[in-house]
Amino acid sequence: MAGKLAEIKNWNVELEREITEKWRKSSMFKFDAKTKKKIYSIDTPPPYINSPIHMGHAVTYCFMDMFARYKRMKGFEVLFPLGLDRNGLPIEMGAEKKFNVSPFVVGREKFMEYCEKLLNETTIESTDSFAKLGISFNSYEVGNNIGEVYLTDSPDYRALTQSTFIELYRKGEVYEDNRINNWDPKLQTTIADSEIDYKDIQSKFSDIKWKVKETGEEIVIGTTRPELICTCGRVIFNPKDKRYLHLEGKTAISPIFGREVKIKAHPLAEIDKGTGLVMMCSVGDLSDIQFFREQHIKPVIAINKDGTMNENAGFLQGLKVKQAREKMIEELRSKSLLVRQTDILHRTPVSERSNAEIEFIEMPEFYLKQLDLKKELREIIKKIDFYPEDSVKILHDWMDSISIDWPISRRRYYATPIPLWYSEELTALPVPGEYYQPWKESPPENSEVLKNGKVIGKVKDFPKQKWRGEERVFDTWFDSSISELVILKYKSNPEFFKKAYPASLRPQGKEIVRTWLYYTLLRGYLETGKPCFKDVWIHQHILDEKGKKMSKSLGNIIDPQEILKEFGAEAMRLWASSEGDLSKGDFICSKEKIRAELKTLNKLINISKFILQFEKPKKAKLSDLDKLFIDYIENLTRETGESYEKYDFYHPIASLRKFLWDSFASHYIELVKNRAYNAEKKFSKEESESAKYTLYYLLERLLVLMHPVIPQSTSLIAAELGINLFESEFPDAKTWKSKIELLEKITEFNSYVWKAKKEKNLSLKAEISGIEIPKELKDFEKDLKFCHSLI
Partner RNA sequence: GGCCCAUUAGGCUAAUGGCAGACCCUCUCGUUUACACCGAGAUGACGGAGGUUCGAUCCCUCCAUGGGCCACCA
Q: Considering only residues 10, 35, 51, 178, which one is a binding residue for RNA as defined by CB under 7 A? A: 10
Nearer Cβ to RNA (729/776)? 776
CA–CA dist 29, 32 (Å, integer): 9
In contact, 222 and 206? CB cutoff 8 Å: yes
Query: Quick one: which of 534, 754, 768, 790 contacts RNA (CB under 7 A)?
Result: 754
Spell out the long-range contacts of 368-372 with Cβ–Cβ below 8 A and sequence spacing 24 or more: 368/168, 368/173, 368/174, 368/405, 368/406, 368/408, 368/478, 368/522, 369/173, 369/174, 369/175, 369/405, 370/402, 370/405, 370/406, 370/522, 371/402, 371/403, 371/404, 371/405
Beta strand 83-84 pairing with 150-151:
parallel
Q: Which is nearer to RNA, 381 or 601 (CB)?
A: 601
CB of 397 to RNA, least distance (A): 5
Span 661-690, contacts to RNA by CB under 7 A: 661, 665-666, 669-670, 673-674, 677, 679
Q: How many residues bind RNA (CB under 7 A)?
A: 77
Q: Is 599 in the site for RNA (CB under 7 A)?
A: yes
- 140 near RNA (CB under 7 A): no
Q: How many residues does the chain have?
A: 791
Asked whether position 580 contacts RNA by CB under 7 A, the answer is yes
Q: Interaction with RNA in 181-210: which residues (CB under 7 A)?
A: 193, 198
Cβ–Cβ under 8 Å, residues 116 and 556: no
Stretch that binds RNA, among 17-25, 378-386, 463-471, 755-763 (CB under 7 A): 755-763
What's the gap between Cα 547 and its chain centre?
Answer: 19
Contact present, 534 and 382 (Cβ < 8 Å): no
Which ranges constitute the DSSP H helices of 428-531?
476-480, 483-487, 494-500, 518-528
Judged by CB under 7 A, the chain residues 489 through 518 that form the site for RNA are 510-511, 514
Rule CB under 7 A: say whether 785 interacts with RNA: no
Q: From CA 616, how far away is CA 694, in angstroms rounded?
A: 9
Of residues 83, 185, 276, 652, which one binds RNA by CB under 7 A? 276
Looking at the Cβ atoms of 220 and 431, the one nearer to RNA is 220
Question: How near is the Cβ of 601 to RNA at its closest, in Å?
Answer: 7
Opening angle at CA 595, ends 594 and 599, nearest 5:
110
Nearer to RNA, 347 or 460 (CB): 347
Is 596 a binder of RNA (CB under 7 A)? yes
Q: How far is the CB of 366 from RNA (least distance, A)?
A: 19
Q: Is 196 helix (H, G, I), strand (E, B) or coil?
A: strand
Tell me how far CA of residue 402 lies from CA of 37, 294, 475, in angstroms: 41, 14, 17
Query: Is residue 274 a contact residue for RNA (CB under 7 A)?
Result: yes
Q: What is the DSSP letter of 667?
A: I
User: Closest separation between CB of residue 680 and RNA, Å?
Assistant: 8
Q: Which stretch binds RNA (CB under 7 A): 328-336, 483-491, 526-534, 542-550?
A: 542-550
Asked whether position 221 contacts RNA by CB under 7 A, the answer is yes
Q: Which CB, 473 or 676, lies closer to RNA? A: 676
Binding mask 366-405 for RNA (x = CB under 7 A): ------------------------x--x---x---x----
CB of 703 to RNA, least distance (A): 15
Any long-range contacts for 319-323 (C-beta under 8 Å, 24+ apart)? 321/185, 321/227, 321/357, 321/359
Nearer Cβ to RNA (145/750): 750
The reply to whether 588 sits near RNA by the rule CB under 7 A is yes
User: Is there a contact between 337 and 373 (Cβ–Cβ < 8 Å)?
Assistant: no
Residues 674/625, Cβ–Cβ less than 8 Å = no
Cβ closest to RNA, residue 53 vs residue 115: 53
User: Of 278 and 521, which has the nearer Cβ to RNA?
Assistant: 278
Q: Which residues contact 481 (CB under 8 A, 6 or more apart)?
A: 516, 519, 520, 522, 523
Single out the segment in contact with RNA by CB under 7 A; choices: 218-226, 256-264, 411-419, 630-638.
218-226
| x-marked contacts with RNA along 277-316 as a string, rule CB under 7 A | -xx----xxxxx----------------------------
Site for RNA in 694-753 (CB under 7 A): 751
For strands 468-469 and 421-423, give the pairing.
antiparallel
CB of 391 to RNA, least distance (A): 9
Q: Does 586 bind RNA (CB under 7 A)?
A: yes
Phi, psi angle pair for 183, to nearest 5°: -120, 125
Min dist CB 516 to RNA, Å, is 12
* 223-242 positions binding RNA, by CB under 7 A: 223-225, 236
Interaction between residue 549 and RNA (CB under 7 A): yes
d(CA 431, CA 166): 8
Residues 608-637 that bind RNA (CB under 7 A): 609-610
Q: How far from chain centre, in Å, is Cα 59?
A: 12
Ranges within 758-777 binding RNA (CB under 7 A): 758, 763-765
Site for RNA in 436-465 (CB under 7 A): none
Contact 472, 410 (CB under 8 A): yes
How far apart are CB 116 and RNA at their closest, in Å? 29
Distance CA 591, CA 753 (A): 37
User: Which residue from 97, 347, 621, 685 is in contact with RNA, where contact means CB under 7 A?
Assistant: 347
